[in-house]
Chains A and B, each alone.
Chain A
Amino acid sequence: MSLPASYSPAAQQASNILAVRARWSPLEVAFWLAAVASIFLLSSKHLILTEIAILGLFALSLDLILGYAGIVSLGHAAFFGFGAYVAGILAKYGIIKEPVLALLASGLAATVLGFVTSFLVLRGSDLTRLMVTLGVALVLREIANRLDITGGADGLQGIVMEPLLGHFPFDIFGKTAYVYSLTVLFVLFLITRRIVNSPFGLSLRSVRGNPLRAAAIGIHVNGRLVAVYTIAAGIAGIAGALLTQTTQFASLSVLDFERSADVLLILIIGGTGYLYGGLIGAVLFKLVQDYLANVTPQYWQFWLGLALVMMIMFGRVYGAVIAALIFALCTATKLPFMQSIIFTVVLVLVLGVVRPHILKITSAITERAIALQQSLKARLSRRGSA
């Protein structure tokens, strides 16, 4: 997509950069091929795969505002939950029977909510934003808890879904649900990808980098933030609606603080600001959660917390490795949970004390790895030219 010659060289250059970014890399193609293959190869795992797809979509929407626009949010579940409840109500009372249409309607509803609440996040510091977003989610949860139409604390029960597009009924093995979720995820991913690789996406990054400077070069900062927040809310709402439609149930847990915290965690695990972060994070998070919930049901959050603390203290990769090592040590020695708690806490405190030494080691490893990568690259390119 090259611009007409009448544009300035700078604009040409920017357009070229965007075009390069928008190119599909082989890894990306492989990722989606693997996703398609999972429909046929992992047919016994469709339920958890559906959950992963929904989580991934939810994390994708958070990545738009956090990774690209730099808005921190502790209440992104507000839109997820809103979409979930709207979809539930639409289906339960037979207002819109066809799931795809209902999905769009729920997404639209969440978009409107996102637009209205987006003005709340324009002001104040990170801390204010964290509090305000958290407050919005709590207010919604309180409303859902009180209203009759949402079923209160019992949740929305007795949702019966019509066949998809009138042809594909939801089966108990979850195949339809998975294909449906994956398709929605892919379509929305394409849209998001287009957005972040557009001039609009580029301006978002500049807003994240330095709002004052972005405003000085003529970017309407607040307008951009409102727009991206609204879009992200819509996507989150669609993710929530997908959850209701595939599980035929919506409860207060869709608006929980834990859900907002989890999605933030997913994004941090996968990395922010490159779209695949949320998807990869969702896969990892769900698999680990599933495994931990099997090993220590009820108390798996302990290990989740450990991973978080370690990841912040030692960086994403090394922290995760350290947390995994501690967990492996506890399970390999078949330590009872009580002793594991004590052991872990002591170990974490010791790690805190020796952190500077560990950081020296980890940065040395990183340097080695980078050097190795560069030498490999150099060797490959030499071979290529020879």
Chain B
Amino acid sequence: MLTILFDGVAYGMLLFVVACGLAVTLGLMNFVNLAHGAFAMAGGYLTVIMVNRLGLPFLSALPLAFVLTAVIGVVLERTLYIHVYSKTHLEQVLFSIGLVFMSVAAVDYVMGSQQQFVSIPTYLQGQINLFGVGIGRYRLLIILVCSLLTLALQFALASTRFGSRLRAAVDDARVARGLGINVNAVFAVTFAVGSGLAGLGGALGAEILGLDPHFPLKFMIYFLIVVTVGGTSSITGPFIASLVLGIGDVAGKYYAPQFGSFIIYIIMIVVLIWRPQGLFSRAVAK
């Protein structure tokens, strides 16, 4: 019972790390990026290549995955995404679906369609027994890393100069520009960090979520649920939403496998109808 809870928390944390980048682009920059999962996939595959083929240690591959996906993110943002910010939501959806299709086909060709596994070092395998609760070491690592990241993010957004610039840029880009804030640069950095986090989440989650070329499509809905249900006005909303989603999903698959992901979709629809701005956000008068 507690093990399930623990696994659920680890799963939810993973979802959060991947999805918080989306929370930023979708909620703050108002850009519907369905290709967000593709960045997570990129992070996962980069880790597979680095660890399995190049023989890098797993723990040093993780930050590299973050940096590399962030670089990919910023390149794409500067060249492609920047033209699409001002388009309608529908066009943004189509644009990012196009990117997803391209990445799925390309990865399928380059890496093969079978599921990939990262070889995890032995000291991260197995379980430790804590007060009679079996706790997977790898999941413990995930929870540790993700909690640290969450705290860091919360701090960066709420208390740093960059955080306040970002919030200003989002609230009113024109006024922020007038105050001398380089809005484009702020967005680019934010996008890079968001995609880097997705890459890190993908690298960490390759083991738990399963990594194959259809990853972006399979998990797209999960990331979107986290963001839309959690709301986008703060970091805590998506955080709670992803924890609930993670625990619910793991518990649901364990206790009521015949329902599968069914319940989650229903909950999402109900929440969206009940509170279109998300569960944890105040209604914005716009």
Q: Which residues of A are in contact with B by a Cβ distance under 8 Å?
A: 66, 72, 74, 120, 123-128, 130-132, 134-136, 138-139, 142-143, 145-146, 257-258, 261, 264-265, 268, 298-302, 304-309, 311-313, 337-338, 341, 345, 348-350, 352-353, 355
Measured in the bound complex, the distance between the Cα atoms of B93 and A127 in whole Å is 10
Residue positions of B touching A, CB distance < 8 A: 26, 32, 75-76, 78-80, 82-84, 87-91, 93-95, 97-106, 108-110, 217, 220-221, 224-225, 228, 258-262, 265-266, 268-269, 272-273, 276
With beta carbons under 8 angstroms apart, the residue of B101, B102, B262, B273 that contacts A123 is B273
Contact B262 A146 (CB under 8 A): yes
Whether B101 contacts A304 by the Cβ 8 Å rule is yes
Q: Considering only CB atoms, which chain A residue lies closest to B268 in the complex?
A: A135
Instruction: Known contacts A72-B89, A142-B261, A305-B101; decide if A120 and B269 are in contact (CB<8 Å).
Output: yes
- Known A-B contacts A135-B268, A355-B83; the reply to A341 vs B106 at CB < 8 A is yes
Q: How far is the CA of A186 from the CA of B97 in the complex (A)?
A: 31
Partner of A127, one of B32, B100, B261: B32
Contact present for B228 and A305 (CB under 8 Å):
no
A-B contact count (CB 8 A): 144
Closest 7 CB pairs of A and B: A308-B98, A305-B101, A352-B79, A124-B276, A302-B105, A305-B102, A309-B98
Contact B273 A142 (CB under 8 A): no
Residues of A within 8 A of B109 (CB): 298-299, 302, 337-338, 341
**Cα–Cα, bound, A252→B98 (Å):** 23
* Chain A to chain B contacts (Cβ below 8 Å), 30 pairs: A66-B90, A72-B93, A120-B269, A120-B273, A124-B273, A126-B89, A128-B272, A130-B93, A131-B225, A135-B221, A135-B272, A136-B269, A138-B265, A139-B269, A142-B265, A146-B260, A257-B220, A298-B109, A299-B105, A301-B104, A305-B100, A305-B102, A305-B103, A308-B101, A309-B95, A311-B94, A312-B84, A313-B95, A338-B110, A341-B106
Distance A287 CA – B105 CA, assembled complex (angstroms): 20
User: A309–B261 contact, CB under 8 A?
Assistant: no
Contact A312 B110 (CB under 8 A): no
Known: A136-B269, A146-B260, A299-B105. 13 other contacts (CB 8 A): A66-B90, A72-B93, A124-B273, A131-B225, A132-B269, A132-B273, A257-B217, A264-B94, A268-B94, A313-B84, A341-B110, A348-B80, A352-B78
